[in-house]
Amino acid sequence: MKADLLIKNALVLTMDDGLTVHDKADLVIAGPKIVEITPKAAGRAKKTIDASGKLVMPGLINMHTHAAMTLLRGLADDMPLDVWWQKFIFPLEQKLLDPEFIRCGVGLAALEMVRSGTTTFSDMYFYEQEAAEVCSRIGLRAYLGEGVLDAPSPHHPSADHALNYTKELWSRWRNDPLISIMVAPHAPYTCGKDNLIKAKALANELDLPLHIHVSETAAEVAESRKNSGLSPVEYLDSIGFLSEKVIAVHCVHLGKTDIRILKERRVKVVHCQESNLKLASGNAPIVELLDAGITVALGTDGAASNNNLDMFDEMDAVAKVHKMIKADPTVMDAQTVLKMATSEAARALGRQDIGSLAPGKTADIIILDLNKPHLLPLYNIYSQLVYSAGGSEVESVIINGRLVMENKRVLTMDEDEVLDNARHMGARIRHEIKNS
Ligand SMILES: [Zn+2]
């Protein structure tokens, strides 16, 4: 055996198509790949982890966030989305955003995500070159989309500028094993037809995903109907924007026609339950989307509207809220929800090699300690993970075959420095607000 890493004696939840679970198995990893999952591996590896009594599973995939907004966590809570964004967040961003802010915020987000078992995240924000450098250094897999808006943004005087920047990002990171670039027009209500079409053309040219907020609030849908006579989904379809490469975030307010269009165009949907709850955006028809056979993944949204990046929290909320909405405890079972945070998210990214564990797949793996009072006894592992576990159960994290956290110690970051930087930036933000 020629292995770099051997994980021994683990309960292995593969999340493969057959939902295979190995009660006790060894995982052999060479370079970035899993080479074997076997009852007993022969030979030795450079590094061995004894995972007796522990769970090995695919790393979680957070399909929508604004990572650097961790620095705005708890700053403007308990208000409607339009007021939250237009009166507080956007003006602050205009004033504060610079490369240092992004490095500090993404560092904090990355630390939180690694600690809570996220191995891949999908982001829309500004100065994504800085985010890419931080994630590359830490070893966190990231899909990064530079926000494109008609109006001047904190980083770009125009949409063309943001699209050119996206192209530069792509040429800088195109062969990177961890960093992928997306084209990210912010939303149909902030990006006019011409810019949406330009974004789509760039995504086609470079073969990149398109990441966009769609139908988040009732007001957005009403405005769209007033302007074009169409819902946001109908409108995007009418200009030829929708395809299997589109990752549509939120999709809270949808009609039957919208769901039919999303299905026909094979659009991927990202559900951000906790953000929708906190901003009272509405009830996304996720059960209907799944019934229609649409790929749905989960995202936390930014930490300013959640207020954390813990995907275990997110799964718990998703499973429970839809039962209540439907008055039916059988909908959104734990297995379905866990798939949305792993294998279905990988499908949304068009990736076969992450989101599940099998020989030949990429080693994005988390190890959880199940020896906790709230996780015993163990009857159903999916239930335990969705309804009882939290991000703090995550003990070790492997991304692209690299050990990023071992026994709760993050190996690729100076944690004290990340936390200190966040505290200092918090003080700077407080000072800015006081003087504005
Ligand atoms: Zn968002």
Q: How far apart are CA 273 and CA 282, in angstroms?
A: 9
Q: How far is the CA of 169 from the centre of ligand 1 (A)?
A: 21
* CA 301 to centroid of ligand 1, rounded, Å: 5
Strands 54-58 and 365-369: what pairing? antiparallel
Please tell me the predicted confidence (pLDDT) of residue 201.
98
CA distance readout (Å), 207 to 57, 180, 198? 30, 11, 14
pLDDT, tens only, 283-298:
999 999 999 999 999 9
Q: 146-188: per-residue pLDDT in tens?
A: 999 999 998 999 999 999 999 999 999 999 999 999 999 999 9
C-alpha of residue 147 to centroid of ligand 1, in Å: 10
Rounded to the nearest angstrom, the distance between the alpha carbon of 254 and the centre of ligand 1 is 17
> How far away, in angstroms, is 168 Cα from ligand 1 center?
23
What is the 403 CA–ligand 1 centroid distance (Å)?
Answer: 30
Looking at the chain, the whole-number percentage of residues with pLDDT higher than 90 is 91
Question: Looking at per-residue confidence, does 90 or 428 come out higher?
Answer: 428
CA dihedral over 150, 62, 341, 309, signed as positive or negative:
negative
* C-alpha 65 – ligand 1 centre gap (Å): 6
Residue 141 near residue 149 (C-beta atoms within 8 A): no
Residue type, 113: M
Interval between CA 320 and ligand 1 midpoint (Å): 22
Confidence of residue 92 (pLDDT cuts 50, 70, 90): confident
Domain 60-348, CATH homologous superfamily name and number:
Metal-dependent hydrolases (3.20.20.140)
Q: How confident is the model at residue 436 (pLDDT cuts 50, 70, 90)?
A: confident
pLDDT computed for residue 1 by the predictor: 59
Answer left, alpha or beta for residue 65, where phi above 0 means left and psi between -120 and 50 means alpha: beta
> Model confidence over 382-418: pLDDT tens digits?
999 999 999 999 999 999 999 999 999 999 999 999 9
Q: What is the pLDDT of residue 91?
A: 85
Residue 16 has pLDDT above 70, yes or no: yes
Å from CA of 359 to ligand 1 middle: 35
Q: Which fold has domain 3-58+353-410?
A: Urease, subunit C; domain 1 (2.30.40)
Distance (Å) from CA 32 to ligand 1 centroid = 31
CA of 124 to the centre of ligand 1 (A): 7
Mean pLDDT of the chain: 96
Residue 216 pLDDT: 97
pLDDT tens digit sequence for 314-331: 999 999 999 999 999 999
Q: How far is the CA of 29 from the centre of ligand 1 (A)?
A: 35
Residue 216 Cα to ligand 1 midpoint, Å, equals 9
Domain-wise residue ranges, the chain: 3-58+353-410, 60-348
Tell how far the Cα of 213 is from the centroid of ligand 1, in angstroms: 6
pLDDT at 79: 84
Span from the CA of 222 to the centroid of ligand 1 (angstroms): 19
Give tens-digit pLDDT for 192-229. Answer: 999 999 999 999 999 999 999 999 999 999 999 999 99
Distance 404 CA to ligand 1 centre (A): 27
CA of 421 to the centre of ligand 1 (A): 24
pLDDT of residue 317: 98
Q: How remote is the CA of residue 41 from the centroid of ligand 1, in Å?
A: 44
Ligand 1 centroid from CA 240, angstroms: 23
Closest CA to 103 of 77, 55, 70, 63: 70
